[in-house]
Structure 1
Amino acid sequence: MKIKANVKFRELAPKLQHSYLLNPITALAFYHGIPSRDILLAGEDAWLKVFDVDSNRLLSQLRIFHSQSIHGIHIPSSEYVTKETSHILIWGGHSVAVLSVQSLQDLIEERAPAPPQELRAPDWIYDGIIYSSSGMTIGALITAHNEIVPVLAGPDGQTFSFGELTSPSRPILYSANLCLVSPDKVLVAAGTVFGEIIVWKYYLDNDINTRWEVLFVFTGHEGSIFGVSISPELELSPGVKVRLLASCSDDRTIRIWDVTDHPDTASNTDTASHPQALGVARETGFGGNSEAKVENSNDSLRCLAVEMGHVSRIWHARFTGRRNHHLPEPSPVEIYSFGEDSTRQRWELSLDVSRLSNSSQRRPVAGEGRKLSPELDRIGTLRNCGTSTCHIGKNIWSTALSTRGDSWLIASGGADGRIMVSGGRHGITTSASGDDATKHTEAQSSGYYDIDNNLVFQDFIKSVQTSSSGSVEAAPADAEEDKDTFHRYTFLSDDMVLATSARGRIFIGTILQSVGWKEVLVPRAVQTDLTSFHVVKSPLPGIAIIGSASGKIYLYSSSFGVKELAQFSSKVTDLILVGKDGQKPSRGGLFETNTVMVTILGQNHATMLSFDPATGTLTSNGLKTVVFDHNYSHYVLTSAALCGDKLLLGSRVGALTLYETAGDKFTVIDSRKDSNSKDAITSILPLPGSSTSFLTTSRDGKYRIYTISSSETLLSLVLQHEISPPMGIIEGASFTASSPRRDSSSSSSSSPDLILYGFRGQNFVAWNETARQELVSIECGGAHRPFSYVSRVTDPGQLRFVFTKVAHMRFYSQSRPALRVLKEGAHGREIRAVAVSNGTGYIATAAEDTTIRIWKYRDDDDNDDGGGGGSDPLLLRRRIECLAVLEKHSAGIQCLRWHGAEYLLSSAGNEELYIWRIARLDSAYQALAVVCEAVYPDRSVDGDLRIMNLDVRDADEGAMLISLVLSNSTLRTYRYSKDEGFQLLATGRYTGACLTQIRHLGAGDNNGGKIHVLTAATDGYLGIWSAASAQQPGGGEFSLAAVTKIHQSAVKSLDLVVHRGSEILVVTGGDDNAIGFVELVWMDERREFVVRSKSRVKSAHAAAVTGLSVLGTGEEEDDDHGTVEVATASNDQRVKVWRAKWSDGGGGVKVALVANRYSSVADAGDVEDIAPARVMVGGVGMEVWEVVGK
């Protein structure tokens, strides 16, 4: 038997070095030490990363902890900072570090400072503060048991230690927040596991006898307290100042509490109240008992407002930091909440200031017998003001809010590793991200100001008359002018829009910082002709073409007004702009063409109309007839384009037709319909830099890319790409002029971005498919309405949208997206499979979020972008770029396998197995083309099994041999080809244990004419199976040739390497924390595989070995010996490399541990050798390790 080895023999070194990581963002904080510049600090695993918010650039990074992710960053406010003693506090788990501001300045200036000293606290840390007082640096930490740990600076001001713990009680906390209210006093809010909130004061002065004082114990939440946030002192009106506490819980409610500490109340002096306050509500469980409720009714009166939000647990509630809420005019308190559902919600808290002021003068202390219903005594209301989806998958783990003057910035970090930033002015919902003039210079110079107008027609007419100042006389209005309404819109350019009314009036809006309207003078006959019905499109800048119910075509130009261009026999039902290949984009979202398809009511053809924009007349031979494809009855044209000399038409039922053009003659040469529904093809757009490839959008929510394939005698349409972005109805698409650098982790590229726009539910949505970023989402009432959209071709986040809703015209313009990506992310759930294509180097990852992502890893060591790098500059120059996102699975994905460079196979729950065809587009748009070519056909009646694992190899005549195992202990092998589909070759059934892994050992004549596969199961056994020849379809049976036990429980991971053609070393990782090695040998005389030896490394990890990959084999010491190295990953967050040696004479495998490193990836799901000396680990995030020399 001759089997080609799938891994080359090479010498591997035992040292591992981090090459790349993409993990959840677990801490965020804004730094304002540099005037007019916003710097964001982010904690990603153990690394502190420094971003410039304005330029979207990663400046540098520094490793803070050895093996602990960063959970929090505290930067002292300017009032508690001195130049000599300014520091930043960083913590995570038990680990604490204090970083000097000078070190941070070095990072901002892209220099590498020394890493700070790592301290170990006595307990888990939830929050911390640090500040300067009397020339000394002082800090405090709050632990998971409600204890304050002082942070003390040494005599040199650079070394730190911990002081004595202080606590009024030691409940188990899920959240805590510290607020420095004076240089010697800290306000503590602690949220417990059982739904209580304890508010107490800690005194930093060592000279006083009492170090703590309990103020309140709040109850009311019916779940664990996941987030508490203390506001700064808020001035609601002159002389009325309050301090509030926001809390969020497992019960999905947000509650606002009054924690104002009034010096004249008895609670500050009556120390006897402390034990009583802590004694109430001590019963474990949620809701408390009746006695506790009565005792705490006084503190519950401080609950000012309650409201429910989010669809799952709420992790954070944050105040914006704004202090003044009555100047220049009274305004509500803004609060933001962040949840498990990956959304951010904005809330406005309105308070009855007079009641709050009166009630604050005398608050009962804990235990006083005031008994009022808290629900009836609320003096505030919370109003939900909107929801923004910030991240993919689940969980926003970190947030940061910054206030400068009347402007704010919000940053959020998710489990997907993405950082999102947004901002605006207090009390105003805008899309701007800050108040610095430099941030808006580019947007404003291009005319893209933030505008949001909403007008009824009658008010609109008044503005037209006012703006014209009597210099423009509109056509005479009749007595029913008040019944006129808005009818159609089209953008003539970035800064000019045309609107028409139902009575045929035409208006031009000039867009500057606002929209100024004037009416176009048209003859009375033209206005009458346009009354009740007309269609309007803008084919070129400053040009509009108008079709009427009488069959007339008019051309509007700012240079000559309105001219009649053509006359048709009946009603013009639509005007279709004909895009052409080779065009350079100049107006985002708009075609530029002098060719229009005119459709006439009741006719089986359309007319291709070409005109001269300079003269406003038809070109020579300007009218050509195109007969519709007779294979479709009632053909309604909805889109058209020219690719070279080929014409493409899209219809209302989703049919796409290809015509060959020869002079005035158009001949149908191919037609196809790929949508399963009868949804229209809304646009056809040639790909930039290609005359044979084009993109279509459809109302079925998908966009598709086709190529015109040619042979010697035949032209045909080939589907190359079909994807459903997160939109409902796609109305159109455009390409940017080039791809702007989106963040510091993206490789620079001249490839344009693909922009899609359409409707999702009641909202209009613009979506950057390349960056996977939502540009805008506006509530408009849905798709069935007149609208027009335009965006800036070099920056699609600058856009304009005009539409009609309930007889109102709304004009919306934005200078930048409300949410923008500062750092790109990945999957929003745990990665369960990683696979690499040996031919292209493409890396596929699949996760519990049911998506597949295809990546390209780039090691740009020779292309430094000038960034520093903290302690490891190379980490800034390594990129992993997402090329495609596949969203077809409906359950968690179990396995990925590449077959060559062209095919990717994926399996999941619900018996889903998809075969994806992958190709690179031959155009300037450098995206991967992906289409699902086949779907697994043999689903059971219930369809509820999981396809646990699969393997694929070449079969005869270009087909694939696919073997898979299902969760009901069965295995199946199929032959698959594109033309013939799936053909079942063999089936088998194991015992009651679930099969978890399958690999091909061999098939065909070299293996006795049989199919041989290896399986692993949850009982810890490996099984060797054989079945009839792969050339004989018909559903043969697998027979179990041999079994061997290698683990005490489930086999979680498996890989193998072929040595000298007839020997196979199988490496397994188990749920028993062990690694197994099994030698298989092909016996020619018996025509089967036999087990020669097996070895096992007990306690290889401290938890289950969930991923492993054979990295390669070392040079053979002689003909009788082999060496292999294996990388393993586990739930213990360690990555290890093992060297295994074996000999032909038996005796088992000798194994040595050669590398053992902390892994940033929790819940590791897979390990893959993605490139020479590169290993990827996927789980909660992903990381790449480099295997370097000894």
Structure 2
Amino acid sequence: MADSTLTREFFQGPITSLAFFHDAEYLLAGEDTHLTLYDLQSGNALRIGSVRVFSAQPIHGLRLLSNGRVLAWGAAQIAVVSNIEGFISNTTDNQVVVKKAAAPDWIYDVAPSPYDDASAVLATAHNEVVHLHLNGDDAPVVGSIISPSRPILYAARLKWLDQDTVLMAGGTIFGEILVWRCYVSESRSELLAILNGHEGSIFGVDISEELPCQNGTKLRLIASCSDDRTVRIWNITGRDGSHEKHDFAAPRETGFGSKAGLDDGPRAEELRPVATIMGHLSRIWGIKFAQLTEGETIPESPLSLYSFGEDSTSQRWQLNLNISSEKVSGSLKHIETYAVHDGKHLWAHAVVNKGDQTLIATGGADSKISLITQPASLTTTPSVSTHELLGLGFDEIVASLPNLRTLRSVRGKEIFSRYDFISDDRMLVTTNWGRLLLGTFRPSLEWREIELEDELNVEFQTCYTLQTIGDGAAILGTTSGKLYYFSESQGVKVLGSVPGKIFNISILSSSVGGLTELIVHIHGTSDSQYFSIDWCTGAVVATADIRGIDKRFVAISAARFRKDLIAIGSRHGFLALLRQTGNEFRPILDFRFNTRDAITGLVPLPTTDGQEAPLYFLATSRDTKYRIYEIEDLGEEVRLHLQHEVAAPSGADIEGGWFTQDESPELILYGFKSKNFIVWNETRREEIASVDCGGAHRTFTIAHDSINHNRVRFGYTRATKLYIFSQHNPIHRPLRYGTHGREIRGLSASGRYIATGAEDTTVRIWEYEDEQCGTKNSGGLRCVASTKLHISGLQKIHWVGDDYLLSSAGFEEFFVWSVRRLNSQYKGLGILCEAILEDKSPAADLRIMDFDACKVGNGSIIITMVLSNSTLKTYRYTPGDGFHLLARMSYTGACLTQIRHLGADENGLSALTASTDGHLTTWKVSFGGEVASHALVQVAPVHQSSIKCLDLQPTPEGFLVLTGGDDNGLGVTTLGPMSDESDKRRYTTSSRGIVRKAHAAAINGLVLVQRGGETFGITVSNDQRVKVWRVQVNNVKLVADSYSGVADPGDIAVIGESDGEKVSVVLGGVGAEVWSW
């Protein structure tokens, strides 16, 4: 008998709780039912242990107890987890212990007593405070329940005031905040205030610590957030129990906003918000006060708050207070937005001060955990900062240089002109008056003037381009056609001249301690000049003219691809390839990109060991896309083949990029989006830096560290000032990488690659790695390609062989993707949309519910799809020739939901469909010269309602079909060809059966597998169970059943190669899981 144990090998789902641990050296995360510990001390966060807390309940919250214990809760379940240090010490002497108990209601918050290690209180969804007894490592004991009233809450927060008194703030569904005291030992409550004003349900509240004021008094505030997208601050200092006897049973208004009557009178002003501000793009799920640093008092020191929203961003706010004897007033100001997650929803957060920095941990529906580091104080500079932004006016530099030379004045004020970073800590700058300045950043920014002869000062007034060519060396080009070299040791000297105005210089290649090759682009002509320079001495080794390029060509970028092959990119989307023979350059190819925008950067892909020259190159463009081309060098001619074309998720107009020098290189892109300059890690799909510089139309330069790609410098001009942004460490770093952030609707596996399509309209390809190395951080899904071209949520995704991927969605979208492995050290896959189906209905508003596809002998692909108007369509897709409609037919009024080929070739096919009326239908069609019609063969009822998933396997007699329905049933049907058929095109049902109540909810996905010579079905459902069934024609038996952490599953697929003894499947929905059986 087959082993009936289901093992979850991998999980990526929403992060539902976070808490810092052990002086913020570690982070605890609630990952579904498991409590996971991350080490934050190393440069790369390390997952060092995980323990299952609940059997089938995600962890919704975490609180630290004494002696290294942790209190976790989820829904109405509570657990005390002891001996977490066992993970840290990596010993087996102290095993992690979990003791559980049940609460009387859904829990929103828990507050351990700072006065008694054995006491805690919890807040429930009905405005109750429940006392909790904690006796060592024993299971918690639920005590008395206290409540002044029982409205339905959406959020709650607790704060201990003394050994017996707890302050409770509860946000209701109708936008009220109930503030009351709970006296634990007396089981008594005292209502303090009912705060009205929000125009939506309250989703988050927080109670501040007692804030020290400069006059020696204390202030306590409440922050709240809502689906009205506002953050509000309330003053609850010195509240008494004036509402203690309020009759909650009396009729009253339940609408949103401020309520007349209840709080009118002398105290009405006190109950109004201190400050209100609108933020985020949608609902705000959480709000948290940051602590003041030591010695800070209000109102002199502003207070920081952090909000966390449905838009997957966290935002920092500054609260400025005005305190008088009559009232407290204030204002909120937006400081920064942190967009470090995909999709929607930040479900978990934790905020803590560590030294002079604030650590903010965020967990999202995309299963990603991010750690953001910010200065704790808004008024003082931290001792160690992640980044600085300097704004320099020329007058400020003049003030720091008392011996500045007096130059002959030109029209206008002296301002910065051109600049570049010539080393890690030096910057070379020219001014419009021809002055040359050298800035040194360490230990602080200092400037000195490079003394020049008067003739050079005049010449540098026309300096149009400045480029670094080596450590401490730079090239300067002027509109008079002169080319100059600068280094600190050599000073300034003339390199040569070109016949025209120099408007750009492109660096072809450089080597440490060797030569630098560059191309000087000349204004008004397609001709350029080639230079080879010893960057250490400034000696010109070789020069050559580059001529013969189309006269309309406006060069903007260049690169060397091979020893004898260079490329030049134009401002209008063209590329010129030139063959170099000695000092002669001969154009051999004029190539048009799929864009009319500028080709801003050309970068060869990293080579593998043994490769003499790169086989591919990267091209960036201001159309937001980057492309990878394969170079086919045939000697007399060179061909370029597009392998990859996607728009970067950052949405920026890309100005360039580079590959890191790691063992596994990563692709970094940079460019402008709206007012921001963005540096983006495309491999990891995360933002490295974002600077509000005012937009794209300005002089700028960027430099990056060759080893640490998170270290970048960005210089730009804004309103005549020179700004220098220096990032030493990223503001945020991922502790765990995530998935889509929206529900996965389609899955398909091909070998080690898994393709997913989700509601976020993106298609992603992942490489799954087993945890075979024995290390705790090994294994998991690694994204190797991602593209967003659909405009509606994905419905189905399907591999055809290893090199084609098909996807369908709403609005009758159907795309054919070409997928290629690149023979490069860069591990990303090449993916591009090869074809789009244009044959649509007049309104183009249907959804392609499902499709099946297979290759036929001539290399074409036969595709049959079903649409939401019950139409079947069959196409032949031929690469280079597109789609050709072969057949179409309509079913009844029921919507077709599933389609599978029973056999297909160049001459015809047979197919099986399922529909919302619970029936299975078989079809046949023969292809001819005209569009044919699918012929209905048989209709057989199987389910009571819609069939949501289907899989089949061939048998000696025909096919075994397994179906899952909206009726929670599992159907088993056998198909066989009609006996009088020679071509086996017509199939009918041989037997039918169904397992009623196979799941407690609709079955959304299933797959048939072979193991040990038997057939099994694996099903997933909205009841979050994964089940394995032994499937025989007249006997279906449940052999395995496990809880799944993936809610709303959309699909399931077999991954890897089955050895006949072990089967692995991946399922996707709100997250993803890999199971082995």
- TM-score, length-normalised on structure 1? 0.86
- Distance in 1 (CA, whole Å) between partners of 2:151 and 2:255 is 13
Preserved contact between residue 28 and residue 412 of structure 1 (Cα < 8 Å): yes
- Distance in 1 (CA, whole Å) between partners of 2:199 and 2:500 is 68
**Cα distance per residue 1:803-830 (max 9 Å; x no partner):** 1001111111121112221211111111
The 5-angstrom pairing of residues 436-475 of structure 1 reads: 450-463=387-400, 465-466=401-402, 470=403, 474=405
1:1058 corresponds to 2:969: no
Structure 2 SS opposite 1:594: strand
1:638 corresponds to 2:549: no
**Cα distance per residue 1:288-316 (max 9 Å; x no partner):** 75334537963753521111111111111
- Distance in 2 (CA, whole Å) between partners of 1:201 and 1:602 is 78
Equivalent residue, structure 1, for 2:358:
408
Equivalent residue, structure 2, for 1:1091:
989
- Distance in 1 (CA, whole Å) between partners of 2:1021 and 2:889 is 31
Equivalent residue, structure 1, for 2:52:
63
- Distance in 1 (CA, whole Å) between partners of 2:824 and 2:545 is 30
Equivalent residue, structure 1, for 2:774:
864
Shift of 1:231: 0.6
1:691 corresponds to 2:614: yes
Across the two proteins, how many residue pairs are aligned to each other?
1059
Q: Which has the higher contact order (CA 8 A, sep 6+)?
A: 1
Structure 2 SS opposite 1:274: coil
- Distance in 2 (CA, whole Å) between partners of 1:768 and 1:559 is 36
**Cα distance per residue 1:948-1002 (max 9 Å; x no partner):** 1111111121111111111121111111121222111111111122111111110
Structure 1 SS opposite 2:459: helix
Closer/same/farther in 2, CA of residues 32 and 411 from structure 1, 3 Å limit: same
Preserved contact between residue 361 and residue 370 of structure 2 (Cα < 8 Å): yes
Equivalent residue, structure 2, for 1:254:
231
Equivalent residue, structure 1, for 2:610:
none
The 5-angstrom pairing of residues 889-904 of structure 1 reads: 889-904=790-805
- Distance in 2 (CA, whole Å) between partners of 1:791 and 1:1013 is 57
1:1038 corresponds to 2:1027: no
Equivalent residue, structure 2, for 1:374:
none
Closer/same/farther in 2, CA of residues 597 and 90 from structure 1, 3 Å limit: same
Matching residue's letter, 1:685: V
Shift of 1:430: 10
Closer/same/farther in 2, CA of residues 429 and 1049 from structure 1, 3 Å limit: farther
**Cα distance per residue 1:120-165 (max 9 Å; x no partner):** 211111111223645x5111111111111211134x6523211121
1:27 corresponds to 2:17: yes
| CA RMSD between the two structures | 2.4
Equivalent residue, structure 2, for 1:1126:
1017
- Distance in 2 (CA, whole Å) between partners of 1:243 and 1:277 is 27
The 5-angstrom pairing of residues 473-512 of structure 1 reads: 474=405, 476-479=406-409, 483-512=413-442
- Higher mean alpha-carbon deviation, 483-492 vs 295-304, is at 295-304
The 5-angstrom pairing of residues 256-295 of structure 1 reads: 256-261=233-238, 267-268=240-241, 273-276=243-246, 278=248, 282-287=252-257, 290-292=260-262, 294=264
Matching residue's letter, 1:1053: C
Equivalent residue, structure 2, for 1:870:
none
Matching residue's letter, 2:953: V
The 5-angstrom pairing of residues 901-912 of structure 1 reads: 901-912=802-813
The 5-angstrom pairing of residues 421-820 of structure 1 reads: 421-428=371-378, 450-463=387-400, 465-466=401-402, 470=403, 474=405, 476-479=406-409, 483-579=413-509, 594-620=516-542, 622-629=543-550, 633-676=552-595, 678-689=596-607, 690-711=613-634, 714-725=637-648, 726-738=650-662, 750-820=663-733
1:944 corresponds to 2:840: no
Equivalent residue, structure 1, for 2:763:
852
- Distance in 2 (CA, whole Å) between partners of 1:734 and 1:501 is 29
Matching residue's letter, 2:109: D
Structure 2 SS opposite 1:290: coil
Q: Equivalent of 1:50, from 27, 30, 37? A: 37
Q: Equivalent of 1:16, from 6, 13, 21? A: 6
Shift of 1:406: 3.5
1:967 corresponds to 2:863: no
The 5-angstrom pairing of residues 308-387 of structure 1 reads: 308-322=278-292, 326=296, 330-353=300-323, 355=324, 357-359=325-327, 379-387=329-337
- Higher mean alpha-carbon deviation, 897-906 vs 977-986, is at 977-986
Consecutive unaligned residues in structure 1, runs of 5 or more: 1-10, 360-377, 441-448, 587-591, 739-749, 868-875, 1116-1122, 1143-1148
Q: Equivalent of 1:1110, from 1001, 1008, 1017? A: 1008
Give percent identity, aligned residues only: 40
Equivalent residue, structure 1, for 2:106:
124
- Distance in 2 (CA, whole Å) between partners of 1:1022 and 1:324 is 71
Q: Equivalent of 1:159, from 122, 139, 148? A: 139
Matching residue's letter, 1:459: E
Matching residue's letter, 1:643: R
1:237 corresponds to 2:214: yes
Structure 2 SS opposite 1:770: coil
Consecutive unaligned residues in structure 2, runs of 5 or more: 608-612
Closer/same/farther in 2, CA of residues 817 and 132 from structure 1, 3 Å limit: closer
Closer/same/farther in 2, CA of residues 954 and 1133 from structure 1, 3 Å limit: same
The 5-angstrom pairing of residues 993-1004 of structure 1 reads: 993-1004=894-905
Closer/same/farther in 2, CA of residues 301 and 66 from structure 1, 3 Å limit: same
**Cα distance per residue 1:286-343 (max 9 Å; x no partner):** 3475334537963753521111111111111110122667459921111111111111
**Cα distance per residue 1:1068-1125 (max 9 Å; x no partner):** 111111111111112352242121011111111111101111122542xxxxxxx410
Shift of 1:753: 1.3
Shift of 1:937: 2.1
- Distance in 1 (CA, whole Å) between partners of 2:381 and 2:756 is 33
1:924 corresponds to 2:825: yes
Preserved contact between residue 970 and residue 995 of structure 1 (Cα < 8 Å): yes
Shift of 1:1025: 1.3
Structure 2 SS opposite 1:452: strand
- Distance in 2 (CA, whole Å) between partners of 1:222 and 1:511 is 51
- Distance in 1 (CA, whole Å) between partners of 2:299 and 2:147 is 42
Preserved contact between residue 217 and residue 296 of structure 1 (Cα < 8 Å): no
- Distance in 2 (CA, whole Å) between partners of 1:296 and 1:544 is 72
Q: Equivalent of 1:150, from 131, 155, 162? A: 131
Shift of 1:383: 1.3
Equivalent residue, structure 2, for 1:38:
25
Closer/same/farther in 2, CA of residues 960 and 1021 from structure 1, 3 Å limit: same
Closer/same/farther in 2, CA of residues 530 and 219 from structure 1, 3 Å limit: same
Shift of 1:1033: 5.2
Question: Post-superposition, which runs of at least 4 consecutive aligned residues in structure 1 deviate over 6 A?
Answer: 429-432
**Cα distance per residue 1:2-23 (max 9 Å; x no partner):** xxxxxxxxx8532101111001
- Distance in 1 (CA, whole Å) between partners of 2:539 and 2:1022 is 73
Equivalent residue, structure 2, for 1:393:
343
Equivalent residue, structure 1, for 2:964:
1069
1:1136 corresponds to 2:1019: no
1:1010 corresponds to 2:898: no
Equivalent residue, structure 2, for 1:830:
743
Preserved contact between residue 506 and residue 558 of structure 2 (Cα < 8 Å): yes
Higher helix share: 1
- Distance in 1 (CA, whole Å) between partners of 2:499 and 2:586 is 24
Closer/same/farther in 2, CA of residues 297 and 1104 from structure 1, 3 Å limit: farther
**Cα distance per residue 1:385-405 (max 9 Å; x no partner):** 222212111111011000134
Equivalent residue, structure 1, for 2:1076:
1186
- Higher mean alpha-carbon deviation, 664-673 vs 412-421, is at 664-673
Matching residue's letter, 1:1132: D
Closer/same/farther in 2, CA of residues 277 and 598 from structure 1, 3 Å limit: farther
Closer/same/farther in 2, CA of residues 17 and 431 from structure 1, 3 Å limit: farther
Matching residue's letter, 1:452: L
